[in-house]
Structure 1
Amino acid sequence: MGLLQRQNGYTNIKICGLSKPQDMMTANTLTIEAVGLVFFPPSPRYVTPQQALQLTSILNDQIEVVALVVDPSDELVAEIRSQVRVDIWQFHGNESAKRCAEIAQSTPWMKAARIDHQFSLQDFCLEYNECAAWILDAVVEGYGGGGQTFNWQLIPEIWIKENAHRVVLSGGLNSHNVAEAIAYFQPLGVDISSGVEITRGNKDPNLMQQFVDAVRLTDQFNSFKGS
């Protein structure tokens, strides 16, 4: 099952910002749907297309590869396409919906929303209605991976009920708060980066396993409660 496929009582998982062979080997042992590769040079999790090619050669074919970009140039997009298996594009910059669709072509794509008091959820959803999923993230320096949650109550409950099937929740998630996050949003998926790191950009296998365990236990508990 892929990151964008919804199954009742099951929360899809994406671990983002993997940058080392060991990260991929750990990912292969986990029940996750996707990994994210960051093609944004200022990020401590940045990888080049050449590095990404090596990393994805290690990855299990059943795990999807998400290419995270921030206002990418045509040259970078072409280089990624020529070297990397991309199952989903993830846009974190100021890309218009038209630009996202042009880059993604026939590949599914997601658009990140950086939530704060000034953010207009209605305008965002109207503009990016054609995307496969919306990533709800916090406003942090560096476009994600800041380890901060946003105020979940900024998202109206009625919107959540109508759109949870298109939400990949991000922003400051970890093994301690993900159960609460799933209970609140019942999202299509959850997306974690800094919450499984020992230092910025350095993933910890134990934290990765703990997060996956927390999500799967939450799903099991919710299924039992609803039965």
Structure 2
Amino acid sequence: MTVSVKICGLSTEDTLEAAICAGTDYAGLVFFPKSPRNVSVDRAAELATLARGRIAIVALTVDADDALLEAIKTRVAPDFFQLHGRESAERVAEIRRRFGTRIIKAVKVGSLDDIEASRVFEPTADIVLFDAPPPRAPDALPGGNGISFDWTWLAKAQPRPDFMLSGGLDPDNVRLAIATSCARSVDVSSGVERAPGVKDPDLIARFVRAAKHLEPVAATAAEEDRHGPHR
């Protein structure tokens, strides 16, 4: 099985180029001012020019209004909108209808019931992305927190098979995550950074190679315990 990889929170030409050269399938651009990975619409348009035709462009927004979505659609022309807020199924359907752009809908998973409830998005979202809930803190980001959830829940719930797994992934645990969850697509942000918002080209390459099984990995029992699903 070939696994698709999304690197989220890209913000520079060199890390975008590193992601493309490594064989990444999706480039995520974040439009959320509180995030250290935030990019302006103008900056995103520059990056999209470099990426277009070489990698799928994903515009991540959090409960964005139509004005922002329209600006992104016009200037960036993403292949996907990633809706990473509290958007309802009705709002997802409205955005898809209004803008004609494919949709990735993020769902926060704090229990098996959250995966079951996510089925409401399956008719309108092209991909449902499962992420861990943010920490209980006033300034917590909605994603990119390096936190994972119990991956076995996905194997138990068996959502639509084309889901994307996110949350707490890194080059060392992504293979275990894939094997445990049966994910066909994975998404990483902080797990390939050397500082918040600063992507590391070497970590990007390692993550893609591991996820796509392009190099052997000898995981020890200690590694599995450290990077396993209960984090």
CA–CA separation in structure 2 for the residues paired with 1:104 and 1:214: 33
Give the CA RMSD over aligned residues: 2.0
1:135 is aligned, of 116, 119, 129, to: 129
- Kindly report which structure 2 residues correspond to 1:69-218, keeping only aligned pairs within 5 A, or say none: 69-105=61-97, 106-117=100-111, 120-140=114-134, 141-153=140-152, 155=153, 157-160=155-158, 163=160, 165-217=161-213
Return closer, same or farther for 1:27/1:157 CA change in 2, 3 Å cut-off: closer
Question: Could you list the per-position Cα deviations for residues 90-127 of structure 1 after superposition, in whole angstroms to 9, with x for gaps in the alignment?
Answer: 11111112212222332221111111138532222125
Corresponding position of 1:224: none
Question: Could you list the per-position Cα deviations for residues 1-50 of structure 1 after superposition, in whole angstroms to 9, with x for gaps in the alignment?
Answer: xxxxxxxx110000000011212221221211111000111111001110
Conserved in 2, the CA contact under 8 Å of 1:116 and 1:150? Answer: yes
3-state SS, counterpart of residue 22 of structure 2 = coil
Corresponding position of 2:24: 32
Report the alpha carbon displacement of residue 82 of structure 1 after superposing the two structures with TM.
1.1
Give the number of equivalent residue pairs.
210
TM-score by length of 1: 0.86
Deviating more after overlay: 99-108 vs 207-216: 99-108
Corresponding position of 2:222: none
Return closer, same or farther for 1:60/1:127 CA change in 2, 3 Å cut-off: closer
Report the alpha carbon displacement of residue 184 of structure 1 after superposing the two structures with TM.
1.2
Question: Could you list the per-position Cα deviations for residues 41-74 of structure 1 after superposition, in whole angstroms to 9, with x for gaps in the alignment?
Answer: 1111001110101111122512000111100012
CA–CA separation in structure 2 for the residues paired with 1:53 and 1:78: 13
Report the alpha carbon displacement of residue 158 of structure 1 after superposing the two structures with TM.
3.9
CA–CA separation in structure 1 for the residues paired with 2:189 and 2:75: 23
3-state SS, counterpart of residue 105 of structure 2 = strand
3-state SS, counterpart of residue 68 of structure 1 = strand
Conserved in 2, the CA contact under 8 Å of 1:10 and 1:219? Answer: no
* 1:63 counterpart = 2:61: no
Return closer, same or farther for 1:64/1:220 CA change in 2, 3 Å cut-off: farther
Give the aligned residue type for 2:171: S
Conserved in 1, the CA contact under 8 Å of 2:155 and 2:182? Answer: no
Q: Please, which runs of 5 or more residues in structure 1 have no aligned partner?
A: 1-8, 222-227
Conserved in 1, the CA contact under 8 Å of 2:116 and 2:157? Answer: no
Percentage of matched positions with identical amino acids? 36
CA–CA separation in structure 2 for the residues paired with 1:186 and 1:11: 10
* 1:53 counterpart = 2:45: yes
Conserved in 1, the CA contact under 8 Å of 2:115 and 2:154? Answer: no
